[in-house]
Structure 1
Amino acid sequence: MAAIPSYTPPDFSRPDLAAAPAVRTAPAPADGVLPPGFHATSNHPEYVHRGSGEWLLAGESRMDAVLLLDAGGLRVVEPRLVRQGEPVVMGRSENGEEGIYVHTTGFDPAGTATEGKFAFRARGTRETPFSRSYDELYEILRHDREQGSILWVLGPAVAFDRDSRDAMQWLIENGYCHALLAGNALATHDLEAALFRTGLGQDIYTQALVPGGHYNHLDAINEVRRRGSLARTVAELDIRDGIIPACLRRSVPFVLAGSIRDDGPLPEVITDTVQAQDAMRQQARRTTTVIAVATQLHTIATGNMVPDYRVMEDGTVRPVFFYIVDMSEFGADKLANRGSGQARAILTNAQDFVVNLRHALAGTGKL
């Protein structure tokens, strides 16, 4: 597919890589403790030289993990999950000098270099036209609906508007969402909209303030806590519209990660940070496309968990796409500064984005 570039692996016959030494390992001195000089991974494809010209590609490289190399192969794990005695890959260089090669140009199309060293508008800003970004996204989503895994990272703004909430429900019900990451607020206000047609006390269509509406989200949380789960609440109250009910009907997994300021929270919210991180990683490691909408902290967290490539079941390597939809460049810039250079910003209103996406994918032409 045109929107998914092919991958060009490193040329290991190059003299510098052909002469590279075998990578070193050292045993972890204790559980969750790494030997001095350990290698920390990036989100780019990373190879280690096992010796005799055999280079192994890390299957799930991601930011700030470590590599374990033994007879069973090469594994990528978080430092806190390393067990005493496990063989940790050592080395701080990335061009083969210590048997480690980080490959940053595998998806670069041929002939993209520009003549000259100066150019205007090299980074995406509010002035950037996003027509091509949208067209590529439509093509990617149609492909990944059947042959990939689409991960959404949502802030509550999507549930504050009737049309965007309906559009997100449609995307889930029509196979354009394979997993959802969010917080207490998204689920809370989605249920508030279902029960009261409000979002933080405002009518989700007219935006008119409803008398006493500031209680509605608390009443929604209370309903769920009284029944013990979102699934039971949706079933007993026969809730048929919304983002969370659509996930439940389609068996789409969702992870709700807690924060300090959460109301309630809802029973499904994971309040232990490490447990929430593990649950988010479980979904992130499967994804081929991420769409993060109006939630900076969840977006940055997810970006740190996602590699910029995926090794598919047939052994092919493809890029992992990461779209950040927000009114500000901050999220994309922050992720770029944290190593996730593949993050692409689409600067627009969250509700407009989701509604336009639904119409484009449904073929209604109502853009």
Structure 2
Amino acid sequence: MFKLPKYNHPDFSQKNFQSVQNVSVEVVTKDGVAPENYHVTSMYPEYFKVNGKWILATESRMDCVVVIVDDEKLEIKEFRNLKVGDQVVIGRTEDGSEGIYLYVNGFVEENKEGDVFSFRSGRSRETAFTKDYEDLFELLQHEKENGYIVWVLGPAVSFDCNSRKSMADLIHNGYAHAVLAGNALATHDIEGALFGTALGQDIYNQDSKPNGHYHHIDAINRARKAGSLERLVENGDVKNGIVHACVKNHVPMVLAGSIRDDGPLPSVFADVYDSQEAMRSHAKRATTVICLATQLHTIATGNVTPSYTVVDGNVRPVYIYAVDVSEFVLNKLRDRGTLQGKTIVANIQDFLGKLKDRLVD
């Protein structure tokens, strides 16, 4: 049975924490420009000493600055959102000596032993993932009612009839609270509903259909004529698939635009910073994030998602999974420092099929 790990709070009664001064701040003098020696945030819990108290930044994200509001509240801001007069935390040490403490051991299990040397400590196609799947099944069953599950989907999810149906079934059964993707995922999912193809290939047997290269453009055109994805579903044109499941279950979709996009579909964010803000609105609520077959969207989501969140006053971990058939992609994600979670090397169709078979009656 799944159980959330207990968060071990830092002991700020220790002398080294008590004796340091409050954190230093400098005021912003130009919109969008941080003062020199600004402190930049990471994915991990960070505490700041303000008015003699150590305060946790409850809604953090990577590569942002910390602004003190009303002498007691911490606000995490992207550089572009800084305004003249903002009081920005400065300091580059993270050991508490400047009133800034980066804490990485909040969820570390005590007395957990292991050999210093061991074989196959990395994660590859040879890794045994059975326990990972079992843990994920239990996690999703818990998060369905007690968390906020965010899926990050690449277009490959809609290229196969079974993966497309499995994802839709998971959404219909409450295992998704938000979906982050691009124009392509939604376009080819709608194409699958209208024509049974993705990029003109049959989503069951991969046969190329006559004039099939028109299908994704036809799908976009029909959606633009309807005016919205919701209207396209409600008027009966789209009767199945991922977009259909999201609309019917009121699961928000954030579709981030790209310079490569055709169309795009209505509701796709054309401005990259608008799409980042929309993604961030769900990432900061997330308790579990599952990223499937999309390197760039996974990196983007990882950048705006902390390793922890605060729910009802309690600090809990944010579980992040990245799944791809390519070990290179998963290793690259880890190298970027954006992914503090588990990676699973798997074909997306097989992965979603396992989840659907276990979680959906």
| TM-score of the alignment, normalized to the shorter chain, above 0.5 | yes
Partners of 2:17 and 2:113 lie apart in 1 by: 24
Give the deviation of 1:299 after TM superposition: 0.5
Give the deviation of 1:51 after TM superposition: 4.0
* 1:137 partner amino acid: L
Q: Is the 8 A contact 1:43 1:339 kept in 2?
A: no
Is 1:329 the counterpart of 2:327? The answer is: yes
User: What pairs with 1:230-309 in structure 2 (closer than 5 Å)?
Assistant: 230-309=229-308
Structure 2 partner of 1:9:
9
Is 1:145 the counterpart of 2:144? The answer is: yes
Residue 104 of structure 2 aligns to a residue whose secondary structure is: coil
Q: Is the 8 A contact 2:61 2:303 kept in 1?
A: yes
User: What pairs with 1:40-189 in structure 2 (closer than 5 Å)?
Assistant: 40-52=40-52, 54-71=53-70, 72-116=72-116, 118-189=117-188
Q: Which runs of 5+ in 1 are unaligned?
A: none
* 1:224 partner amino acid: A
TM-score (norm 1): 0.95
Partners of 1:328 and 1:128 lie apart in 2 by: 13
Q: Is the 8 A contact 1:256 1:270 kept in 2?
A: yes
Q: Which runs of 5+ in 2 are unaligned?
A: none
* 2:222 partner amino acid: E
* 1:74 partner amino acid: L
Q: Is the 8 A contact 1:95 1:102 kept in 2?
A: yes
Partners of 2:305 and 2:265 lie apart in 1 by: 27
Partners of 1:158 and 1:132 lie apart in 2 by: 23
Structure 2 partner of 1:21:
21
Q: Is the 8 A contact 1:303 1:340 kept in 2?
A: yes
Give the 3 Å change call, closer, same or farther, for CA 318–331 of structure 1 in structure 2: farther
Q: Is the 8 A contact 2:256 2:268 kept in 1?
A: yes
Moved more, 287-296 or 230-239: 230-239
Partners of 1:69 and 1:330 lie apart in 2 by: 40
Structure 2 partner of 1:345:
343
Partners of 2:68 and 2:189 lie apart in 1 by: 45
Q: Is the 8 A contact 2:295 2:333 kept in 1?
A: no
Partners of 2:199 and 2:339 lie apart in 1 by: 35
Partners of 2:341 and 2:328 lie apart in 1 by: 12
Moved more, 278-287 or 227-236: 227-236
* 1:129 partner amino acid: A
Q: Is the 8 A contact 2:95 2:102 kept in 1?
A: yes
TM-score (norm 2): 0.96
Q: Is the 8 A contact 1:67 1:88 kept in 2?
A: yes
Partners of 2:2 and 2:86 lie apart in 1 by: 42
Give the 3 Å change call, closer, same or farther, for CA 15–137 of structure 1 in structure 2: same
Moved more, 248-257 or 68-77: 68-77
Partners of 1:295 and 1:351 lie apart in 2 by: 14
Give the alignment partner of residue 320 of structure 1, picking from 314, 318, 324. 318
Structure 2 partner of 1:216:
215
* 1:260 partner amino acid: I
Q: Is the 8 A contact 2:2 2:142 kept in 1?
A: no
Name segments (4+ residues, structure 1) moved above 4 Å. Answer: none
Q: How many residues align?
A: 360
Partners of 1:266 and 1:278 lie apart in 2 by: 19
After superposition, give the CA deviation of every residue in 1:135-180 in whole Å (9 maximum; x if it has no partner). 1111111111111100000011111111111111111111100000
Q: Is the 8 A contact 1:192 1:217 kept in 2?
A: yes
Q: Is the 8 A contact 1:300 1:334 kept in 2?
A: no
Q: Is the 8 A contact 2:22 2:51 kept in 1?
A: yes
Residue 304 of structure 1 aligns to a residue whose secondary structure is: helix
Partners of 1:130 and 1:184 lie apart in 2 by: 31
Q: Is the 8 A contact 1:3 1:139 kept in 2?
A: no
Residue 88 of structure 1 aligns to a residue whose secondary structure is: strand
Partners of 1:330 and 1:301 lie apart in 2 by: 17
After superposition, give the CA deviation of every residue in 1:191-224 in whole Å (9 maximum; x if it has no partner). 1000001111111111112121111111111111
Give the 3 Å change call, closer, same or farther, for CA 343–115 of structure 1 in structure 2: closer
Partners of 1:222 and 1:199 lie apart in 2 by: 15
Aligned-residue CA RMSD (Å) = 1.4
Give the 3 Å change call, closer, same or farther, for CA 19–334 of structure 1 in structure 2: farther
